Amino acid sequence: MANAGSRNRADRSTGAVTLQQVARQAGVSLATASRALHGAGGRSVGEELRRRVEAAAAELNYVSNGPAQALASATANVVGLIVHDVGDPYFAAIAAGAMRVARERRLMVMISATFREPGLELEYLRGLRAQRARAVVLAGSGAAGAADADRLAAEIAGFQEEGGRVVCVGERGGELDTVAPDNRGGAAQAVRALWERGHRRIGVVAGPQELTTVRHRLDGARQALRELGGELPAERLVAADFTREGGRAAARRLFAQEPGTTAVLALNDVMATGILAALRQDLGLSVPGQVSVVGFDDVPYAADLRPALSTVRLPLEVAGAEAVRLILDEPVAGPRRVHLDTELVLRDSTGPAPA
């Protein structure tokens, strides 16, 4: 048989067809087969040979060996995406955008979910680095003052030194490429809209205050309030988990502390969903009759809630897509930033302040 002689004692192969076999079948050298199949756009293999190689590959059902390519070329066609939770519509939208662009560029996407455990971000970045991912998108916002912030920064630096690219969605410290939604501006818009409708006692339901996303949204709300001559006393600011249940609990707390509150700004839609539930089921307050609610993000089902949720729309899908574009473009000196504008979408959950 012609194909004898390859399987010798220490055969650790999986039986997969190799490029070598394709080359042999096509009657060309290994190098030519490699160029024909994976060669850069620039032609460098004759029509005839290329055809023969392609035919051989098809016939043998050749599947390239990614790890081997990655090892030889010192770069893999993989990008990483680290999120807090894929089940959260915020991250799901970012992931969808990122995957869309990845597909255009023929890249595979590795997704890791930290489930909001801070240490895991570090661990996953290491994993992605070990996989020799081309680039990593840090989709969850950073946590200021986190114990391991330094180690994370070191890990990022190490990854970059090895040629890896990193981009954040949302602000982080450091000199990183960033896709930055206008969190401050969005929150300010929401507050102004409420103010214009006569609301003066506006409560804010925030997520974990370490998150820079939360900080910026809070900052924006605070500053807008200040400019309007209002204020945000500590009793009208409640923080909880960035979840539906977190929002629900926060709303109960808020109205226990400050029953006179006439409007609530939730720092994301998932919390807003819980707030609406609390208002309706736990507190018996009508929206927008007695209380107005504004959320943040404009998740896909925001308009389907009861009542339809007013919110600050963020182009999340675009954010994910832009993030991947940024890290695939040629690097430039200094960090780049893509700003994303927000849009206030008024629906049924906001109305004039009660008399």
Binding site for its own copies (CB under 8 A): 12-16, 61, 63-76, 78, 85-87, 89, 92-93, 95-96, 99-100, 103, 108-113, 115, 120, 126-132, 154, 158, 161-163, 244, 273, 276-277, 300-301, 303-307, 317
Nearest distance from residue 160's CB to DNA, in Å? 17
Number of residues that bind DNA (CB under 7 A): 39
Q: How far apart are CA 324 and CA 161, in angstroms?
A: 19
To which residue do tokens 């950073």 refer?
A: 142
Residue 236 DSSP code: G
Shortest approach of its own copies to residue 72 CB, angstroms? 8
**Piece of 40-48, 99-107, 108-116, 254-262 that binds DNA (CB under 7 A):** 40-48
The window from 10-18, 142-150, 165-173, 206-214 that contacts DNA (CB under 7 A) reads 10-18
Backbone angles phi, psi at 181, to 5 degrees: -70, 150
Shortest separation between residue 127's beta carbon and its own copies, angstroms: 6
Q: Does position 3 bind DNA by CB under 7 A?
A: no
8 binds, among its own copies, DNA, none (CB under 5 to 8 A by kind): DNA
Q: How far is the CB of 103 from DNA (least distance, A)?
A: 20
x-or-dash string of contact with DNA, 288-327, rule CB under 7 A: ----------------------------------------
Residue 74: CB partners within 8 Å, gap ≥ 6?
A: 132, 163
DSSP per-residue string spanning 40-109: -SS--S-HHHHHHHHHHHHHHT----HHHHHHHHT--SEEEEEES-TTSHHHHHHHHHHHHHHHHTT-EE
Give least dist CB 120 to DNA, A. 22
**SS3 of residue 265 by DSSP:** strand
Nearer of residues 48 and 304 to its own copies, judged by Cβ: 304
The Cα 313–Cα 299 span in angstroms is 8
By CB under 7 A, is residue 25 in contact with DNA?
A: no
In whole angstroms, how close is the CB of 211 to its own copies at the nearest point?
20
Looking only at the bridges linking them, the beta strands covering 177-181 and 165-169 are parallel
Inter-residue contact 84 to 241 (CB < 8 Å) = no
19 makes contact, choosing from its own copies, DNA, none, with CB < 5 to 8 Å by partner type, with DNA
The CB-of-329 to DNA minimum distance in angstroms stands at 19
Could you give the CA distance from residue 183 to residue 194 in angstroms, rounded to a whole number? 17
Q: Residue 115 binds which one of DNA, its own copies, none, with CB within 5 to 8 A depending on kind?
A: its own copies
Residue 8 binds to DNA (criterion: CB under 7 A): yes
Q: How many CB atoms lie within 10 A of CB 119?
A: 13
Q: Are 177 and 165 in contact (CB under 8 A)?
A: yes
DSSP string, 97-165: HHHHHHHHTT-EEEEEE-TT-HHHHHHHHHHHHHTT-SEEEE-SPPBTT-TTHHHHHHHHHHHHHTT-E
According to CB under 7 A, which residues from 44 to 103 bind DNA? Answer: 44-46, 48-50, 62, 64-65, 68-69, 71-74
User: Nearest CA to 316 among 140, 53, 114?
Assistant: 140
Cβ proximity to its own copies: between 150 and 304 the closer is 304
Applying CB under 7 A, the residues found at the interface with DNA are: 6, 8-14, 16, 18-20, 27-32, 34-35, 37-38, 40, 43-46, 48-50, 62, 64-65, 68-69, 71-74
